[in-house]
């Protein structure tokens, strides 16, 4: 078991309340545990710096709003994160690479107050390997059409809720079929997102001498019921600065196979190249794909 | 806060381990709390008798199987339920009407053993009132088509998982719009189920003297991605014995309005009449609807 540092948000303690993660800390009647009713964010700390903190806090506030869940403001979370990282340094080790999870549940049944905590732990070793070696993914139908989010707000699409059983089942399905991850498609055939990541693809034009003359970074359209990726948003901004063209879907599976490179991107696993989709190789020019990955990774590394 | 009696399933204690529900009992890294990853059942105890126990235990085993989650066998659950009810009598009161919840989560991250507990508490007072007065419901799109369950098993349709955030959001949406509950429809226009109940409707033919000559009880087709209702199953068996014809969908919203009576049925709330759907009255003969409700309620009351 990974060592976890745990800090609860607490009205009485503005810096949060440190608790022992090796002891029970949640009530069995907490609606987070009995109904998956709550929201969360997963952040990466690199060399002591919390990456994209404002974007994560904003997205959590948005998720909470979609769920009509009242959660503490940014400052309370920021202070609890500082407490958690101080404690992590004290009891676990340096803040070279730390995963910080923010969780807010609807609270204990009948109490009507969110249960909120920050958990800091080491990243899973698989992330680094997957980033370096790339991954194989399966395309899986998520059952929803790409317009349902607007039509049916009660489906909570675009909110990062604790109800992740389907995402976990999709990953199990992929592992059972020899793949590492999943790209969900909509029932009307559009590329959506990964269970815990955003899909990116790149096109590049080269001149006769093999020099890249145009680079285009594309992600599925943001209004198709997917989670707006904090990593995608930050990388898009950096890529634009660096001269990339940007594009938003709709994307179909065919577009993934026509791309020079495809990645899954997330806060913890960062930019992870997709080698094969449904067993079929992605891209036709491995050297170009590697160059694009290196360029984007370098841009992404510099993001605050 | 309702008083809850809590019994954890425990390899070392075949009758289960009684814990204080007023104290924290779950780890913050339990995948039930962080991913809604687990299964549950809600049972009703009436006058000391646990209703439909084998049906609930079988359905939970099925749900766990769909989630590839290993949970203890029936006997362990049965013994923990007995312990919980004994303790309930001792510390709360008589077993006149008690709600028993069975929960199995995927357990603490990295431990690979389900966290399993039984929670016993008094039913919410609203259930009785709704049963007597009936409820208003909204039809809400659940986003999935009625064939997706078979096509995409990773969506976990037909398993009762802890990832209930969407069900809770749909109920909030109904309450915000002046209704009590929801009937979900599929994206291809079929009637599915309630967020925590099964839909039933009845047709009746009467002769010139007003005597009922045919009674037909209908529920949506069971392979449309809905949860097989333990109450629906038990009531159908009893109704057949009592001379009712039985029918299974596909049903469309129009069929609900054409029915003599519509109900939501569940283990705790029992048979609850639907008065209005999207603001429109159900049925044309209130006396006949009442008679059908009384007859089915009497049948349902006798179920073991």
Task: Please give the mean pLDDT across all residues of chain B.
Answer: 96
DSSP secondary structure, B60-112, as one string: HHHHHHHTT-----HHHHHHHHHHHHHHHHHHT--SSEEEEEEEEE--BTTT-
Q: Give the 3-state secondary structure of residue B239.
A: helix
The percentage of residues in chain A with a pLDDT greater than 70, rounded to a whole number, is 100
Give the contacts of A188 (CB within 8 A, at least 6 positions apart).
A145, A146, A147
Does residue A1 carry a pLDDT above 70?
A: no
Contact indicator for A76, A254 with CB cutoff of 8 Å = no
Q: What is the mean pLDDT of residues B143-164?
A: 95
Q: pLDDT category, B265, cuts 50, 70, 90?
A: very high
What's the pLDDT at B1? 58
Indicate the domain borders of chain B.
5-123, 127-301
Q: Rounded distance, CA B206 to CA A187, Å?
A: 44
Sign for the CA dihedral angle at B135, B141, B142, B146 comes to: positive
Of A21, A27, A35, nearest to B165 by CB-CB distance is A35
Q: Which two tokens stand for residue A127?
A: 């992330």
Across the interface, do A172 and B21 touch by the CB < 8 Å criterion? Answer: no
Does residue B242 carry a pLDDT above 70?
A: yes
* Chain A partners within 8 Å of B187 (Cβ): 144-145, 148, 187
The pLDDT tens digits for A115-145 are 999 999 999 888 889 999 999 999 999 999 9
CATH of A127-301, one of 3.20.10.10, 3.40.50.300, 3.30.360.10, 3.60.20.10: 3.20.10.10
Give the contacts of B124 (CB within 8 A, at least 6 positions apart).
none
What's the pLDDT at B128? 87
* Chain A partners within 8 Å of B155 (Cβ): 142-143, 166, 169
Q: For A5-123, CATH number?
A: 3.30.470.10
Q: How far is B59 from chain A (nearest CA, A)?
A: 17
Q: ipTM of the assembly? A: 0.95
Q: Which two tokens stand for residue A253?
A: 């599976």
Of A144, A152, A163, nearest to B140 by CB-CB distance is A152
HSE (side-chain half, CA atoms, 13 Å) at A65: 8
What's the pLDDT at A64? 98
The pLDDT tens digits for A167-212 are 999 999 999 999 999 999 999 999 999 999 999 999 988 888 878 8
Of B22, B108, B155, nearest to A166 by CB-CB distance is B155
Q: Which of A190, A244, A245 lies closest to A220, judged by CA?
A: A190
Does residue B190 carry a pLDDT above 90?
A: yes
* Chain B partners within 8 Å of A67 (Cβ): 165, 169
Cis peptide before B99 (omega within 30 of 0): no
Across the interface, do A27 and B35 touch by the CB < 8 Å criterion? Answer: no
Q: In what order do the strands lie in the sheet with A97-105?
A: A13-20, A5-10, A115-121, A97-105, A38-46, A49-50
Q: Rounded distance, CA A156 to CA A162, Å?
A: 11
Give contacts of A 95-154 with B, CB under 8 A: 101, 103, 105-106, 108-111, 117, 119, 140-145, 148, 151-154
What's the pLDDT at B268? 94
Domain pair A5-123 / A127-301, same fold: no
Across the interface, do A38 and B165 touch by the CB < 8 Å criterion? Answer: yes
Q: Does A156 touch chain B (CB under 8 A)?
A: yes
Burial of A275 (0-12, 13-18, 19+ CB in 10 A): middle
Contact indicator for A247, A253 with CB cutoff of 8 Å = no
Give contacts of B 35-74 with A, CB under 8 A: 35-38, 40, 67-68
What's the pLDDT at A248? 97
**Number of residue pairs across A and B with CB atoms under 8 Å?**
194
Across the interface, do A166 and B154 touch by the CB < 8 Å criterion? Answer: yes
DSSP state at residue B304:
-
Q: Rounded distance, CA B226 to CA B219, Å?
A: 11
What's the pLDDT at B213? 83
The percentage of residues in chain A with a pLDDT greater than 90, rounded to a whole number, is 92
Q: In the beta sheet, which residues pair with residue B183?
A: B139
Q: Rounded distance, CA B118 to CA B61, Å?
A: 15
The pLDDT tens digits for A261-300 are 999 999 999 999 999 999 999 998 999 999 999 999 999 9
Of A141, A153, A154, nearest to B151 by CB-CB distance is A141
The pLDDT tens digits for A17-62 are 999 999 999 999 999 999 999 999 999 999 999 999 999 999 999 9
Q: In the beta sheet, which residues pair with residue A263?
A: A200, A273
């Amino acid at each position: 078991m990974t060592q976890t540092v745990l800090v609860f948000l607490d009205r009485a303690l503005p810096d949060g309340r440190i608790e022992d993660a090796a002891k029970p800390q949640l009530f069995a009647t907490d609606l987070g545990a009995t109904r998956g009713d709550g929201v969360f964010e997963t952040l990466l700390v690199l060399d002591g710096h919390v990456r994209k903190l404002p974007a994560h806090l904003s997205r959590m506030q948005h998720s909470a709003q979609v769920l009509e869940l009242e959660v503490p403001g940014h400052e309370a979370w920021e202070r609890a994160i500082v407490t958690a990282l101080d404690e992590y340094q004290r009891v676990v080790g340096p803040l070279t690479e730390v995963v910080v999870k923010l969780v807010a549940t609807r609270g204990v049944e009948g109490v009507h107050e969110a249960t909120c905590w920050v958990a800091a732990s080491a990243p899973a070793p698989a992330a680094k390997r997957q980033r370096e070696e790339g991954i194989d993914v399966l395309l899986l139908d998520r059952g929803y059409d790409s317009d349902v989010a607007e039509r049916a707000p009660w489906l909570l699409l675009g909110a990062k809720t604790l109800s992740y059983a389907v995402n976990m089942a999709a990953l199990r399905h992929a592992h059972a079929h020899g793949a590492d991850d999943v790209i969900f498609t909509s029932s009307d055939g559009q590329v959506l997102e990964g269970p815990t990541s955003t899909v990116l693809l790149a096109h590049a034009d080269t001149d006769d001498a093999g020099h890249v003359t145009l680079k285009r970074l594309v992600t599925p359209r943001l209004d198709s019921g997917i989670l707006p990726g904090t990593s995608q948003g930050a990388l898009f901004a950096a890529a634009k600065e660096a001269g990339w063209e940007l594009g938003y879907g709709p994307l179909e599976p065919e577009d993934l196979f026509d791309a020079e490179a495809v990645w899954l991107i997330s806060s913890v696993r960062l930019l992870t190249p997709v080698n094969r989709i449904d067993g079929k190789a992605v891209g036709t020019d491995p050297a170009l794909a590697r160059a694009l990955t290196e360029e984007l990774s370098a841009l992404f590394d510099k993001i605050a």
